Structure 1
């Protein structure tokens, strides 16, 4: 759902420290236990938070839409600077923003990878590429550099014994997701990363073969989290508890309810909110990809990106204390542990 939203990962998170440094009141509305939460949405999509509201799991909380986000990093930066009350992004972006001293805390997972919701690395059916070593000197098209797809490629190569120097010989090319299939079929790239609707439509056409996917590499895992500022949490603990628990319940509902019923509900939500958008993409919805009960956050879902960013030199080792970056404290739908 948010594959394209990670496009500005490096640029925006690099600026995040400056944005936050100039904002001493990154606390949302400042009202103790506010009943209104400002947020950004996405055209033609329904987030777990929006689903939670429609299912009545947010009790008397009101979600106030202030516009659509251009990326996950921009979304959580808006929350950190007080322009919105919460935001969601790829966990690597959450780690990077925290490294820039943003006073944020991840409170619940909201998207991930499973057998239905995954990003695959595809080649043409007749491609000679069959193994990791075959990728040396080849072009791999992905939505952005320094984020989820490049991390998965690095992990794939490392897991199969390729050195850092050898990994560097695999050329990573930025290709807009809507152009990836065409670029792959035309031979402009040898490997293309496809997910969601774009993946399903490309596979319907035929002629492509999966080399590997993020789900193949790591199994089911949560990939992104909703965050609030620490100050907002301190001032509005009851509100945060209702929100986090409600999102967790909505995720559980989406996972245990027949797909047709979920798609019908999502389509109904888009139809009622009047944002001049198409509900057509929802026909391809299969899963939010969050398998953890109640959207519970596991430390590993943040440490894997913390380690990867450290290895790349994007952040310093020990710069981010992952244990302080997330909490399951407010999630009554996932009460075990932290």
Structure 2
């Protein structure tokens, strides 16, 4: 099997292991305990963390990075510790104390919380709209035209058990496939930067393409959409930034500054001309000196977040709670949406 691909079985095992961490593991974390330059004080104490460790993404600008560059994080500084292509891995790093915050699909947040990890979502991190969406693409001459045509085919996505597998399951179900037939569709892990190439080389039949990578592939031609998450569900916020409950309790001012700063960055990206946003992002990537290609940034259009200031809504969780319960990965009635997030620290629009 090509190096860019991982088998369904192996990837699912890795994903389950990723989210199967215990509360004891969380308590062993270092970043959430000692944080950056300030350490951690008591609840609301003077010695709150002021340097936040985080993971980034190659060739793109995360909302906290944008907020920092715009000056919206006050006296907080960000410490980059590496890149991630997986939301579940990113929030696991936050839960275990390797970083102070992480972003993932809300279904992954639910699963981690169901595994007793004491985390809480504080603001939306990405979403789906007419510009920011995940498309499931096939080659132009592919015989695949419907959900039933996917039986026995390989679908490449960034990680299993998260956003794009959930939407694939919904698409198959809404188009009448039985569970037995749906199980014959094979999701595979493919790094986003490799998806277009792997699809064109026919190592997979369908590839999930998003954002600038999607628009770049479309500009090159030779592929067409089968469906998208926007087609299925319309506009919605799909993921959130999470922190540990302990960190939130011990660093409320830091959390408030971070969350409100990210909210301001969200709204800046909405209200600023697209060309100016792209120019700002390009500048950010160049000056951080990680030897990254900035050419794909010209395709950026939106972060896709539905609510003003990234405020989290109850309605963003039930669909994924039900999906995970149907898969047997969480118990029905185990979690309530309201227990998974807080808007307490989001000061955007409050004066």
Please classify the TM superposition score into its range, dividing by the shorter chain length: 0.7 to 0.9
Partner of 2:329, secondary structure, is coil
Matched, 1:305 2:320: yes
Matching residue of 2:182 = 167
Residue 299 of structure 2, aligned match among 273, 278, 284: 284
Deviation of the 1:186 alpha carbon? 4.2
State how far apart, in whole Å, the 1-side matches of 2:96 and 2:258 are.
20
Native 8 Å contact 1:16 1:77 kept in 2: no
Which residue among 19, 22, 25 is the counterpart of 1:13? 19
1:83 corresponds in structure 2 to 98
Alpha-carbon deviations, 1:308-337, whole Å to 9, x = none? 1111112222333321110111112266xx
Aligned CA distance change for structure 1 residues 210 and 144 (closer, same or farther; 3 Å) = same
Q: Quick one: distance in 1 between partners of 2:171 and 2:139?
A: 19
**Residues of 2 paired with 1:48 and 1:18: CA distance?**
30
- Unaligned ranges ≥5, structure 1: none
Separation (CA, whole Å) in 1 of partners of 2:196 and 2:160: 18
User: Deviation of residue 17 (structure 1)?
Assistant: 5.0
Q: Which of these residues, 223, 227, 231, is aligned with residue 246 of structure 2?
A: 231
| Alignment correspondent of 2:75 | 60
Q: Does the CA-based 8 Å contact 2:147-2:171 persist in structure 1?
A: yes
Q: Deviation per CA, 1:271-309: give whole Å up to 9, x if none.
A: 333334343332232221213110111223222222211
1:145 aligns with 2:151: no
Q: Give the Å deviation of 1:130.
A: 2.3
What is aligned with 1:30? Answer: 40
Partners of 1:148 and 1:121 in 2: CA distance: 12
Residue pair 2:25, 2:96 contacting (<8 A) in 1 also? yes
Shift of residue 261, structure 1, vs aligned partner: 0.1
Number of positions where the alignment pairs a residue of Structure 1 with one of Structure 2: 330
Q: What RMSD, in angstroms, separates the aligned Cα atoms of the two structures?
A: 2.5
Task: Say if 1:140 and 1:66 are closer, same or farther in 2 by CA, change over 3 A.
Answer: closer
* Corresponding residue SS for 1:46: coil
Measured after TM superposition, the shift of residue 253 of structure 1 is: 0.7
Range that drifts further, 187-196 or 24-33: 24-33
Give 5+ residue unaligned stretches, structure 2.
6-10
Instruction: Determine the C-alpha separation between the residues in 2 that align with 1:244 and 1:100.
Output: 25
Which runs of at least 4 in structure 1 moved beyond 6 Å after TM superposition? none
Q: Give the corresponding residue for 2:8.
A: none
1:21 is displaced (CA, Å) by 5.6
Shift of 1:70: 5.5
Task: Report Cα offsets for 1:32-51 as digits up to 9, x if no partner.
Answer: 34333232223322111111
Q: Distance in 2 between matches of 1:121 and 1:329?
A: 36
Structure 1 residue 136 corresponds to structure 2 residue 142: no
Match of 1:72 among 73, 79, 87: 87
* Cα offsets for 1:165-187 (capped at 9, x unmatched): 23223233333434433443444
